Amino acid sequence: MKRAPPSTTSEPAPKKPRPTPPSDFPAPPPSLDTSSSTEWTRVEKRKAKKISKSSTSASLNPPTFAYSASELRKRKDAVTISEVRDLALHCIADAPPAGWARLENKANVKGAVVLLVPGLTHDVLGLAKPPTNPTACPHLPVSVPLEIAASTSGDDVMEEEGDEERKEEKAARLGGVPFISRTFSHALPTRAPGDNTRMHSVLAEFLSAPVTGEEKKRRTLARIQGERENSTKGAEQYVLSVQDMLENGYPLPRALSDAHQPEDEADWIESPTVSDGEEAEVYALDCEMCVTSRGKELARLSVLRVDRNNGEAKVVYDTHVLPGAPITDYLTRFSGITPQSLENCTTTLRDVQSKLLELLTPRPDTRSPILLGHSLESDLCALKLRHGRCIDTALIYHHPRGRPLKPGLAWLTRKWCGREIQARGEGGHDPEEDARACAELLRRKIENGPGFGTFKTDTEPIFERIARAKNGSVRTAAVDRNPAQGFAARASTATPAANDAAVCAGVIDAVRTCHGFVFGRFTELADALGWVTPKPTDPTVPSDPPPPPTLKEALTNLNARLAEIHAALPPRTALIVMSGHSDPREMSKLSARRLAFEAHQRAAAAKSMQRPAGLPPKPANPFVMPSGVDIGSKADSVAGAEKTGEGEEELVPSWTASDARALEEAVAHARRGLLFLGFKN
């Protein structure tokens, strides 16, 4: 063992002069005397050192995802979309950890970007098919090949020639999406929401989150307090707030908001808004529209005055309206409008607006009248009317699956009033009947209280959950076709995007402006595969829409956009890509057949009730076809033809047990999806 050196006594070495603060540090506050103290310098250097140390530690311990094969083997079904949502909430909010996937170094997560890309299937990406062996687990992650060799032979690029079959396999021969192969090692099978006979919205499932227990308690107390305060307010308690009207696309008076600025501003009118005074009148209204060369325009209006004492409604104005442009579709099956209805009509939209202003102008010392309707914003837009005091039965009553889904008026009337409306079949709707149903729904709501007609869904937009969990410190963004309506409206930034290029630009802009959670949806690949079919009666769809991109163009564009988004991500940002579902076309076709068959059965049952008493009714068994019908003689949508009294053939839809089994198989296939998890490290 070495000996210790002898101790020596000497003068202490002089201290080195302390350095001056660097230029990028803030100067000390005026109250500090720095002539003989360097405390401010030490504090700032300590902060910089702490930040540097924290950044180094995060870089050395990046967050990662890891699947749990043992947990996945125990599952009966694949991972659901709601579980993917909960994993995203675990990354940046307050959700508990998932059992099927582990997140390591959660504290170092910087943000999360979620992309919904329908069309990413096993065939498109060249992945192994799900196992059919009953002893194999179909829920385990599938290895993603490093590269798919693109074929250049003419036989492999047949999608240009309009061959719609097997497009997904052709996408793999075109090279698939190389970004997925380079970025992710595994793809996890997922399951879309729904049941055996239908698939629910993947978008709504992901963007709605369960309410926490603490939030449930707060809402219950607020509801009880609100019921006490509004017990004597009658209809006034259901008048929509400005925020509710903005979120649901209402055209507000300029005194309340400048958000609504239409191009045809000169054609709009605005009623006075007075919120103080005696109780106001309530007018229930409903409009029917037809399609003209300028889009949907007003064709009929019914206005009913609702009695404040007994809730009865009496017609005060009912008229057909001559549109201001040539009619291209009367929409008779919805509106009940026919060419004969407007043959001698001379009433114009300006005449209707003058009458409405007369009804909606408040009397002295009286509040502005209340307009009542169902999804009233569409009626106000057709009337080109701004009114600030409205009640909407689609909002004060709830959809069974929660908001932002809105219940239909016919369903509400059947559920809460116990009667049928809109039962005229091809004859369309009666606006007076619909307005009267709204008046009855409001009366029942006032009699039974605010809780009447609501459901305990206990869900909320995912964006509200994130904001509340982090006290608003995490900014959220949604980039989609129409994010201003639905769950996406609750995001800090809701960016509309007309196409996938705009979605890509919006996601990148949100990432660069420090949004901690970003959601975007790409639809070009699904469009190229033939999955997207716009509604023919939608006036926003042009009569000659541009052709969808070719499959090769869609794959190339998607690959470039995913790579561009990935390059813009900050380090330690989660990138979650999911397809949501598979090809839904066979499911949609069979569902349409079933609905047509059920509608035919209902019509036949109603007709049998009107038959003479001496004639026996036709059988109502759905599997008993009328006599003389050959099941195999027609195509998919019809089972045969039955002679009518005039000698014409009436096509009779069919639905058999084999069709029901085929629908269940098609739904099970459509609900399959893929999930890709990773971090930008």
pLDDT at position 28 over 60? no
* pLDDT digits 0-9 by tens, 268-279: 999 998 888 888
Q: 292: Cβ–Cβ under 8 A, 6 or more apart, which residues?
A: 323, 324, 325, 326, 327, 328
Going by the DSSP 8-state scheme, the letter that residue 411 receives in this structure is H
Percent of the chain with pLDDT over 90: 50
Structure tokens at 414: 């059947």
pLDDT at position 459 over 50? yes
What is the mean pLDDT of the segment spanning 301-319?
93
What is the mean pLDDT of the segment spanning 595-600?
89
CA atoms within 13 A on the CB side of 476: 27
Task: State the pLDDT confidence band at 281, using cuts at 50, 70 and 90.
Answer: very high
**What span, in angstroms and rounded, lies between the C-alpha atoms of 555 and 180?**
11
pLDDT at position 53 over 70? no
> Could you give the 3-state DSSP secondary structure of residue 116?
strand
Q: 627: Cβ–Cβ under 8 A, 6 or more apart, which residues?
A: none
Mean of pLDDT over the chain: 82
566: left (phi over 0), alpha (psi -120 to 50) or beta: alpha
**Of 347, 361, 385, 155, nearest in space to 262 by CA:** 385
Is 129 within 8 Å of 122 (Cβ atoms)? yes
| Neighbour tally for 202: CB within 10 Å | 23
Task: State the pLDDT confidence band at 315, using cuts at 50, 70 and 90.
Answer: very high
Helix (H) or strand (E) holding 463: helix 462-469
| Interstrand relation of 295-306 and 313-320 (parallel, antiparallel or unpaired) | antiparallel
Is 444 within 8 Å of 314 (Cβ atoms)? no
pLDDT at position 641 over 50? no
Looking at residue 228, what is its pLDDT?
A: 67
| Interstrand relation of 64-67 and 101-104 (parallel, antiparallel or unpaired) | antiparallel
User: DSSP E strands: which ranges in 199-247?
Assistant: 208-210
pLDDT at position 361 over 60? yes
Is 109 within 8 Å of 572 (Cβ atoms)? yes
Q: Which whole-number Å values give the CA distances from 258 to 215, 252, 329, 454, 492, in the listed order?
A: 33, 8, 33, 32, 19
**What span, in angstroms and rounded, lies between the C-alpha atoms of 409 and 428?**
14
Place of tokens 């240009």: 160
Looking at residue 33, what is its pLDDT?
A: 44
**What span, in angstroms and rounded, lies between the C-alpha atoms of 232 and 420?**
31
Enter the pTM of the model: 0.71
**What span, in angstroms and rounded, lies between the C-alpha atoms of 373 and 394?**
8
Q: What is the DSSP annotation of 360-392?
A: HSPPTTBPPPEEEESSHHHHHHHHTEE-S-EEE
Looking at residue 1, what is its pLDDT?
A: 41
Which neighbouring-strand residues pair with 300? 288, 320
Looking at residue 486, what is its pLDDT?
A: 72
Looking at residue 604, what is its pLDDT?
A: 82
Number of H helices, E strands in the chain: 21, 23
pLDDT at position 148 over 60? yes
In terms of DSSP H, where are the helices of 529-641?
A: 551-568, 585-609
Which domains, and CATH codes, for the chain? 59-146+160-211+512-553+562-582+668-676 (no CATH), 232-448 (3.30.420.10)
* pLDDT digits 0-9 by tens, 536-564: 444 444 455 677 789 999 999 999 999 99
Q: Higher pLDDT residue, 636 or 214? A: 214
Looking at residue 489, what is its pLDDT?
A: 79
Is 118 within 8 Å of 525 (Cβ atoms)? yes
